[in-house]
Amino acid sequence: AYDHVLETHRQHLSPVVTAYFQKPLLLHQGHMEWLFDSEGNRYLDFFSGIATVSVGHCHPKLNAVAQKQLGRLWHTSSVFFHPPIHKYAEELAALLPEPLKVIFLVNSGSEANDLAMLMARAHSKNSDIISFRGAYHGCSPHTLGLTNIRTFKMKLLSGMGCQSTMCPDVFHGPWGGSHCRDSPVQTIRTCSCAPDCCQAKDQYIEQFKDTLNTSVASSIAGFFAEPIQGVNGVVQYPKGFLKEAFELVRERGGVCIADEVQTGFGRLGSHFWGFQSHEVLPDIVTMAKGIGNGFPMAAVVTTQEIAKSLAKCLLHFNTFGGNPMACAIGSAVLEVIKEEKTQENSQEVGTYILLKLAKLRDEFDIVGDVRGKGLMIGIEMVQDKMSRRPLPQEEVNQIHEDCKDMGLLLGRGGIFSQTFRVVPPMCITKPEADFAVEVFRSALIQHME
């Protein structure tokens, strides 16, 4: 049966999506932080799909709410009014600071960022958009321009390298953030609190200014930033960097967009939104993934002023955005986050995992860096701490596979896919964290033998 599945996959599912493991998992069931395969083996899910299952697989409360709504009304689009959308809009707006109170509901992070781009252009009346190197903001034709990770770029025409030709107005700022020395982009240590961060910040601000001055002259529509880069391998900015970058963008007439697709809904522990940890107030916030605990939904939140600028320019519509099922589930997710104190758990268990992993970093030369915040953690694998070259793919793959075989699913990220990503559902417990770190340690020992 397993071979048949592999064959069906090969024949009928697009090869553009590559499976995570040499021997792909056939997942049948999920319960909170655990997943079960077809043979009944269980896996501790340390990647939540892709950083998506925020409060737990098949959470009983969400199941009950979804079933109730299923029996009542599945679908109507946002041109018709229905109670779940108003309830949800009120609840989500209450979680954002003034003046971020106007909500547009869509279905995915890419759609949310596409819409944010339209808003930035409509409001500023400029066209140029800036994002960071190593950024990931989506895979739609427009957000592909914002995304700056080589493997996602389409090599369209010879001589155009890996640049996406589909969104030519996007310029990428200076941030590279890999810990590895032979990264093709900027190389600096990306720890959150190293004493050299102040120096790094000034250096990067200078480069950011260069990007603004040389690439986009004086007209900027918008600037996108993930509060912590996720797909790039959990990359953090030096303290104060984002705040200054926001000021520079605003001086040139641009609006600032926080992409909270991975960092929102309490995942970082200390704050509900990632932008709060940088002490900045964005003009637009985009969110997806954890917002629906795996149910497809996403949102763009902005100010009345920006929302009105967009409405003056065009009619915009989304068939499924804000449908009754999504809104009912979204409300239930917010309730669970509050009732079960998942943000507090992110802070507590996240810090606990970070400290345990830091010990592994000291113990193993191939663990180059451990970084992150709350339950968004990166473990960067290197050949050795001296050279800081990325550990070869096959070796990282083997450790990844070994962890899976011992019951732990980790994520991957970084330009060389050299960083393991720890982004579990926020209901994870300390004993489960102990199990995960022990499995990872065993895989490292196996690798050294």
Residue with smaller CB distance to ligand PMP, 147 or 309: 147
Is residue 261 at the binding interface for ligand PMP, with CB under 6 A as the rule? yes
Residue with smaller CB distance to ligand PMP, 231 or 427: 231
Identity of residue 247: E
Is residue 378 at the binding interface for ligand PMP, with CB under 6 A as the rule? no
Closest by CA position to 135, among listed 248, 266, 51, 261: 261
Residue with smaller CB distance to ligand PMP, 324 or 413: 413
Q: Nearest distance from residue 374's CB to ligand PMP, in Å? A: 15
Residue nearest to ligand PMP (CB): 109
Token match 């663990």: residue? Answer: 367
Is residue 376 at the binding interface for ligand PMP, with CB under 6 A as the rule? no
Is residue 262 at the binding interface for ligand PMP, with CB under 6 A as the rule? yes
Q: Nearest distance from residue 423's CB to ligand PMP, in Å? A: 10
For ligand PMP, the binding residue among 45, 114, 128, 226 (CB under 6 A) is 226
Q: Nearest distance from residue 89's CB to ligand PMP, in Å? A: 20
Q: Nearest distance from residue 40's CB to ligand PMP, in Å? A: 30
For ligand PMP, the binding residue among 33, 45, 128, 259 (CB under 6 A) is 259
Residue with smaller CB distance to ligand PMP, 62 or 288: 288
CA–CA–CA angle 420, 288, 222 (5° rounding): 95
Q: Nearest distance from residue 105's CB to ligand PMP, in Å? A: 13
CA distances from 423 to 47, 114, 140, 234, 372 (A): 5, 25, 24, 10, 10
Q: Which two tokens stand for residue 185?
A: 């982009």
The residue count for binding ligand PMP (CB under 6 A) is 15
Residue with smaller CB distance to ligand PMP, 44 or 144: 144
Residue with smaller CB distance to ligand PMP, 64 or 139: 139
Identity of residue 196: D
Is residue 174 at the binding interface for ligand PMP, with CB under 6 A as the rule? no
CA–CA–CA angle 18, 227, 31 (5° rounding): 55
Residue with smaller CB distance to ligand PMP, 398 or 417: 417
- In the three-class reduction of DSSP (H, G, I as helix; E, B as strand; rest coil), residue 340 is classed as coil
Q: Please say whether the beta carbons of 207 and 241 come within 8 A.
A: no
Q: Nearest distance from residue 266's CB to ligand PMP, in Å? A: 16
Residue with smaller CB distance to ligand PMP, 47 or 241: 47
Instruction: In the chain, count H helices and then E strands.
Output: 13, 15
Q: Which positions from 227 through 256 interact with ligand PMP, judged by CB under 6 A?
A: 230-231
Alpha helices in 226-370 (DSSP H): 241-251, 304-313, 324-339, 342-363
Q: Which two tokens stand for residue 415?
A: 């330009």
Q: Which residues contact 260 (CB under 8 A, 6 or more apart)?
A: 226, 227, 273, 274, 275, 285, 286, 287
Q: Please say whether the beta carbons of 285 and 273 come within 8 A.
A: yes
Q: Nearest distance from residue 285's CB to ligand PMP, in Å? A: 12
CA distances from 138 to 288, 420, 421 (A): 11, 20, 18
Q: Nearest distance from residue 1's CB to ligand PMP, in Å? A: 30
- In the three-class reduction of DSSP (H, G, I as helix; E, B as strand; rest coil), residue 194 is classed as coil
Residue with smaller CB distance to ligand PMP, 246 or 388: 246
Q: Nearest distance from residue 261's CB to ligand PMP, in Å? A: 4
Q: Which positions from 303 through 322 interact with ligand PMP, judged by CB under 6 A?
A: none
Q: Which stretch binds ligand PMP (CB under 6 A): 32-40, 134-142, 347-355, 411-419?
A: 134-142
Residue with smaller CB distance to ligand PMP, 128 or 226: 226
> Which residues lie across from 422 on neighbouring strands?
377
Binding mask 97-116 for ligand PMP (x = CB under 6 A): -----------xxx--x---
Distance CA 367, CA 63 (A): 39
Q: Nearest distance from residue 437's CB to ligand PMP, in Å? A: 25
Distance CA 409, CA 446 (A): 17
Residue with smaller CB distance to ligand PMP, 108 or 183: 108
Q: What are the DSSP calls for 250-291, one per residue?
A: HHTT-EEEEE-TTTTTTTTSS-SSGGGGGT---SEEEE-GGG
Interface with ligand PMP (CB under 6 A): 50, 108-110, 113, 136-138, 226, 230-231, 259, 261-262, 288
